[in-house]
Amino acid sequence: MKANTSRRSRFVFGRNPSAYERARMPFSRSTVQWALSRTFFRPGDKVLEIGAGTGQLTGELLAAGANVTVLEPIDTLADSLQRIHKEGDAGELNVSRDTFEDFVAPDTFALVVAANSFHWIDPAISYQKSADILDKDGRLCLFWYFPILADAELQRRVNSVVRTLGLDDLVRDPVGYGGTLQSLLSEGRDEAEESGYVRCLDWVLEPRRLSYSVAEYCDLLTTYASAKDLTELRKSLFSSVLHDTSGVEIVIYEYACVAESINRSGR
Ligand SMILES: C[S@@+](CC[C@H](N)C(=O)[O-])C[C@H]1O[C@@H](n2cnc3c(N)ncnc32)[C@H](O)[C@@H]1O
């Protein structure tokens, strides 16, 4: 996914950290394993995660045995991250509140990873700095996910509510959504390659289905950067669209892209 042209909203995600933690689902083990299997990662390796939120990707990295340094500049989210280490996790967790731009890497990393966050970093910095701090065989692994209601008619009704509230970037066109994402993600890979610092090696886009309660779904919408008027959004959705249903089915398209640095090998 290409970098956002405006980065004004990049630190708004801490408004309601418990809603964020509840609603933003963890990445699936299969997608994370798919990405790790296309790298030289071994348990105990050092991994830098940029913009970890409340650990949507971090949990799987720890379970895989990574020694993860996470960068999370929003204090409320970083506080939640401190708690995510679970019994049975093989890896180690170190939480830093630096931005990626300000972070001074003490060493190089086997992996630099980011989930739903790399597009918030200035692309004039993100690719070059990632390439610079990777080990010789290191990999940049970029993850995003994109939820849409499985019921196209319900999604259209939600679209009309969010449009009325001026929250146009919450609109999801159910027609050909997978194809829309393919184009968006292909533009992102072009941006990465045009930086001259990384080369995309492999990528995957997989849909999976999840059941959400209506409250969780409203929480999910409100975690997106544009959804500023949370009260109004919840009220409108409950009163006009979701009043006669207790739950919704969501299709979440998970994307992972594995890239190598061409800093040391090519230039
Ligand atoms: C949409 S959230 C993604 C959080 C989590 N990884 C997830 O998948 O839900 C974007 C995250 O990027 C972080 N972020 C934004 N700009 C950043 C920067 N310059 N350096 C490091 N993190 C940044 C924000 O604090 C936020 O936690």
Q: Which domains does the chain have, with CATH numbers?
A: 17-261 (3.40.50.150)
Query: How far is the C-alpha of 84 from the C-alpha of 132, rounded, in Å?
Result: 29
Ligand 1 contacts (CB < 6 A) are 10-11, 13, 24, 50-53, 56-57, 71-74, 77, 99-101, 115-117, 120-121
Residue 19: CB atoms within 10 A of its CB come to: 17
Q: State residue 264's pLDDT score.
A: 52
What are the residues facing 21 on neighbouring strands? none
- Which amino acid would we find at residue 239? S
Q: Which of 10, 125, 127, 133 to mutate to test the pocket of ligand 1 (most atoms within 8 A of CB)?
A: 10
Q: What is the pTM of this model?
A: 0.95
Among all chains, which residue has been given the structure tokens 């500023």? 228
Query: How far is the C-alpha of 48 from the C-alpha of 70, rounded, in Å?
Result: 6
Ligand 1: centre distance to CA 226 (Å): 14
Q: State residue 263's pLDDT score.
A: 65
Ligand 1: centre distance to CA 30 (Å): 22
Which residue has its alpha carbon closest to ligand 1 atom 11? 51
Q: State residue 225's pLDDT score.
A: 77
The dihedral formed by the CA atoms of 170, 258, 117 and 52, expressed in degrees to the nearest 10: 120
DSSP 228: -
Q: State residue 10's pLDDT score.
A: 82
Q: What is the mean pLDDT of each run of 10 residues along the chain (267 residues)?
A: 86 84 95 98 98 96 96 94 82 96 96 98 96 97 98 95 90 95 98 97 97 92 79 86 89 98 62
Is there a contact between 197 and 128 (Cβ–Cβ < 8 Å)? yes
